[in-house]
Structure 1
């Protein structure tokens, strides 16, 4: 598949931990899809830039520590949605528990990772807009890229 849009993409959450942090390990888990998801966010690590300027040479630029990023998916609030309920449970968990996540693209390609959900803020933005929930998912492991089936 060539270019694609975000249409049809989903995000799922699991309380289970993969036996191995690779496609095979993550693929064995059962994920509960968060329904009514309007957007997922940016997936992928960034690195701190470390620089050193010797007096007699060119500046050295190195990759420093990794920040695996964060997502801020937005959901049209549905208290009966099992996936949203699991996201809320993860947000309320005060034990720093890691949850497993699977983002599935339109092509069927998957992105797996573990993270923590920081909050479940709900937005009421007037009479007409849908009430939305926008958790922050802090990604705590490398993102594992799975090909389309």
Structure 2
């Protein structure tokens, strides 16, 4: 269960820039060009689906089944209207263009899905008195979906002589993620002074993480 996460914190970003190569390296090269779209409330479902091809031979009477053509799907994106959001402005531009735009969905754990799509609609939704004025965007994915798993880093915590630690001492954290608290507890007659990296925060929670870390809690006599 430790690998299960909610969808909270997921986001959609867009750019008119196309990758030079349609692969992980190509999309990562244009990461800085993406603009996050604000106020999205649902990212639905997406992914490749094959059409079913069947064959009914007379002698066996069993229907044979094979994969035919495939479609990488579409995404309906509901969002609250924000006239000051640059991401929504780019989506509106995508609607008016015949060109495919590049998109990136980022999950809570840092996993990214890159793809290109045609923006087929960006409708206005008004509703009733208790409704938020919004939009519905329809994206038709027109190429492979490139899944990029997050980079992870290792956090290691060690207790020096005359003390112990409370918390998870070996942690794997994704890029720009946060670890969980680790506290240094001194033995009787000693006190915590610092971690080996100079930090005196106790308990400590490391993040946003951009590199692996190994630190030792140091204790001295009172």
**TM > 0.5 between the two?**
yes
Higher strand proportion (structure 1 or 2): 2
Distance 2:130 2:96 in 1: 29
Distance 1:19 1:52 in 2: 41
Aligned to 1:27: 28
Matched, 1:49 2:52: yes
> Which is higher, the Rg of structure 1 or of structure 2?
2
Matched, 1:126 2:116: no
What is the TM-score of this pair, normalised by structure 1? 0.94
Distance 2:75 2:53 in 1: 25
1:51 is paired with a residue whose SS is strand
Q: Unpaired runs of 5+ in structure 1?
A: none
1:65 is paired with a residue whose SS is strand
- Structure 1 residue runs of 4+, over 3 Å off? none
Matched, 1:66 2:67: no
Distance 2:19 2:68 in 1: 27
Shift of 1:9: 0.3
Q: Unpaired runs of 5+ in structure 2?
A: 152-222
Which moved further from structure 2: 138-147 or 120-129?
Answer: 120-129
Matched, 1:90 2:91: no
Higher relative CO (Cα under 8 Å, sequence separation at least 6) belongs to: 1
> What is the aligned length?
147
Shift of 1:125: 1.0
What is the TM-score of this pair, normalised by structure 2? 0.64
